[in-house]
Structure formats: structure tokens, C-alpha cells
């Protein structure tokens, strides 16, 4: 009886996490996703350089927002798939987020990336597992955009 109860609890917890993950994919990130696809359809050439320039230009803003660019990988295709891993430094409040977004507003790419990072952080808050905390976020830019989180 006891063990069955635990099993049911674990199953319910797992399915709620799964539900949350799929709802992140469906709703939470739709606008950014569509925007990334547009960006990569339009000017496929020179996309990698544009992303690198954006990261360099806004590096301190990303840090201020709570994310440190850790590594980057790119596929050798046109347009490329570009994956960036950000280390999570800590959350900033809504007012600070809005201030940061307004300072990135001249760059569509920086804005999309920041919004995506913020959404991933908020999502990580909803899938708290014991003492585990959000460690990093991977954003993939390209024609098949993706976003994933690592908690540990």
C-alpha cells in the first residue's frame, strides 16, 4: 500500500513536469520561435557573424540580466544552427528585466535571446526538483530553434 502510494506520487510528479515541458514548447516560446525562424530565413548568409557580433556587443547586458555566455557551437550549413550555452548567474526582477530589454531594443536578435533566457528562467522556477537549481540554458538559433535548461 505504502509503496504503491509513493509510486503514484512519483508518477503524478513526472507527468506534471512533462506537461509543463510540453506547454513551454507550445505556448511560452511561440513568438520568439517564429521571430528566430524569420530572422534566419531572411538573411541566411552572415548569420553566424551577426550572432557573434550581437553577443560581443551585448555581453555585459546579458551578464547584468543574469546570464553569462559559456560556449557556442555552430553547424556548417547556411543558415547555420547556432547553439549557445549560458550559465545562469541569478534572477533579476521584472523592472530590471524591462530596463535591460529597453537597452537591447535596437537589436532584434539580442531582444529575442534575452526574452528566451527570461522565459527559460521562469520555466525553471516551475519545475523545482528538491534542492536543484537552474545552472544553464541552451538556446539554439536557426530554422529549428530550440531551448533547454539544465538543473542540478
The rounded distance, in Å, linking the Cα atoms of 116 and 4 is 39
Q: How confident is the model at residue 21 (pLDDT cuts 50, 70, 90)?
A: low
pLDDT at 79: 83
pLDDT at 126: 85
The answer on pLDDT for 16 being more than 60 is no
The rounded distance, in Å, linking the Cα atoms of 2 and 72 is 47
Whether the Cβ atoms of residue 86 and residue 114 lie closer than 8 Å to each other: no
Per residue in 30-51, pLDDT tens?
Answer: 888 888 888 888 766 788 889 9
Q: How confident is the model at residue 85 (pLDDT cuts 50, 70, 90)?
A: very high
Whether the Cβ atoms of residue 67 and residue 86 lie closer than 8 Å to each other: yes
Q: What is the mean pLDDT of residues 49-62?
A: 94
Q: What is the mean pLDDT of residues 18-35?
A: 65
Per residue in 95-125, pLDDT tens?
Answer: 999 999 999 999 999 999 999 999 999 988 8
CA distances from residue 109 to 16, 22, 40, 65 in whole angstroms, order as listed: 32, 24, 10, 15
Q: What percent of the chain has pLDDT over 70?
A: 80
Backbone angles phi, psi at 91, to 5 degrees: -80, 150
Strand order in the sheet with 67-74: 67-74, 82-88, 134-141, 146-151
The rounded distance, in Å, linking the Cα atoms of 81 and 144 is 8
Whether the Cβ atoms of residue 147 and residue 116 lie closer than 8 Å to each other: yes
Amino acid at each position: 500500500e505504502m509503496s504503491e502510494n509513493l509510486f503514484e506520487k512519483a508518477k503524478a510528479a513526472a507527468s506534471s513536469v512533462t506537461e509543463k515541458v510540453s506547454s513551454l514548447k507550445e505556448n511560452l516560446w511561440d513568438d520568439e520561435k517564429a521571430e528566430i525562424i524569420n530572422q534566419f530565413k531572411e538573411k541566411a548568409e552572415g548569420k553566424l557573424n551577426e550572432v557573434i557580433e550581437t553577443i560581443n556587443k551585448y555581453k555585459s547586458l546579458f551578464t547584468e540580466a543574469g546570464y553569462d555566455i559559456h560556449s557556442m557551437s555552430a553547424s556548417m550549413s547556411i543558415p547555420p544552427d547556432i547553439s549557445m550555452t549560458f550559465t545562469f548567474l541569478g534572477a533579476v526582477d521584472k523592472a530590471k528585466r524591462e530596463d535591460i530589454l529597453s537597452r537591447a531594443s535596437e537589436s532584434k536578435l539580442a531582444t529575442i535571446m534575452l526574452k528566451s533566457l527570461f522565459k527559460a528562467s521562469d520555466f525553471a522556477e516551475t519545475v523545482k526538483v528538491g534542492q536543484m537549481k537552474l545552472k544553464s540554458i541552451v538556446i539554439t538559433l536557426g530554422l529549428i530553434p530550440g531551448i533547454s535548461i539544465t538543473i542540478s
